[in-house]
Amino acid sequence: MQEREHIISMLVNNRPGVLSRISGVFGRLGYNIKSLCVAETMNPDVSRITLVSRANSNFTEKIKKNLDKLIDIVEVKELDRGESVSRELSLLGLVLTADNRPDILRTVDLFGCRILSITDNYVILAAIGTGEETATILNYLKAYEIKDLARTGAIAIEKGGGSRD
């Protein structure tokens, strides 16, 4: 069966051990987590987890049912790409030289990157984009030395406030 990326969005009770139970379900069913992002929602008792996993189409039903059984999961959904928006934040640290400085700093104009910190020989850029846009930026910059990279992985929500009903 064809493998593809699935975005799973969950609302969970903000209690200790919840993430461990969720990752336990993925581990037991043999699925790898590609990216994972967790933060509190407007209600501090509830956190949102956005998780990306590559798997075949059996995945959604199996994983959703098993996640839904966890006591601390309030809601679990697979997000449809057309019906949701998703972004990823990347922080990139690059060594600046006289030669590469103009090309690297051009990413601010080309891709809307922001400069978070800069010294004579080192810059930290922030890039926000979809998965595809992030791949494009990384592709452009890989010609230079990316010394450090931190990515949030995708965060996503449904258009039209899907999770409120």
Partner 1 sequence: MKQTGAEILIATLAELGVDTIFGYPGASSLPIHDCLRESPIRHYLVRHEQAAAHAADGYARATGATGVCLATSGPGATNLVTGIATAYMDSTPMIALTGQVSTNLLGSDAFQETDIVGITMPITKHSFLINDVSLIESTVQEAFEIARSGRPGPVLIDLPQDVMAAVVTERITANRPSPKKDHYTSEETIDRLKKIAKHLNNAEKPVILIGGGIKLAQAFDELQELVEKGQIPFVSTMMGIGSLKSPHDLNLGFIGTHGNEPANHSIHRSDFILAIGVRFTNRSTSIVEEFAPLATIAQIDIDPTSIGKNIKADLSAVCDIRKALGILSPLLEHKDRREWLSRIKKKHELMERDDKSNGCGAAGLVVQKVQENMPEGTIGTADVGLNQIWTLRNWRALAPRTLITSGGMGTMGFSLPAAVGASVGKNRCPVIAFTGDGGLLMNIQELATVGFYQLPVKIVLFNNGHLGMIRQIQDLWYGARFADSYLGNHMNFTAIARGFGLPAAHVSAENPEAGIREMCASDGPFFLEVEVDCQNYVYPIIPPGRSNVEMIYDKAT
Binding stretches for partner 1 (CB under 8 A): 13, 16-17, 20-21, 24, 28, 45, 62, 65-66, 68-72, 74
| Closest distance to partner 1 from the beta carbon of 53 (Å) | 18
Backbone angles phi, psi at 83, to 5 degrees: -100, 10
Please provide the DSSP assignment of 62-107 as one string: HHHHHHHTSTTEEEEEEEPGGGEEEEEEEEEEEE--TTTHHHHHTH
| Closest distance to partner 1 from the beta carbon of 65 (Å) | 5
| Closest distance to partner 1 from the beta carbon of 105 (Å) | 46
How many Å separate Cα 151 from the centre of its chain? 7
| Closest distance to partner 1 from the beta carbon of 13 (Å) | 5
Closest CB to partner 1 among 67 and 141?
67
| Closest distance to partner 1 from the beta carbon of 66 (Å) | 6
Q: Which residue has the tokens 């975005």?
A: 7
Closest CB to partner 1 among 40 and 148?
40
Cross-strand pairs, 34: none
**CA distances (Å), origin 151, targets 19, 92, 126, 134, 159:** 19, 9, 10, 9, 24
Closest CB to partner 1 among 61 and 103?
61
Closest CB to partner 1 among 42 and 71?
71
Closest CB to partner 1 among 63 and 154?
63
8 Å CB contact between 87 and 97: no
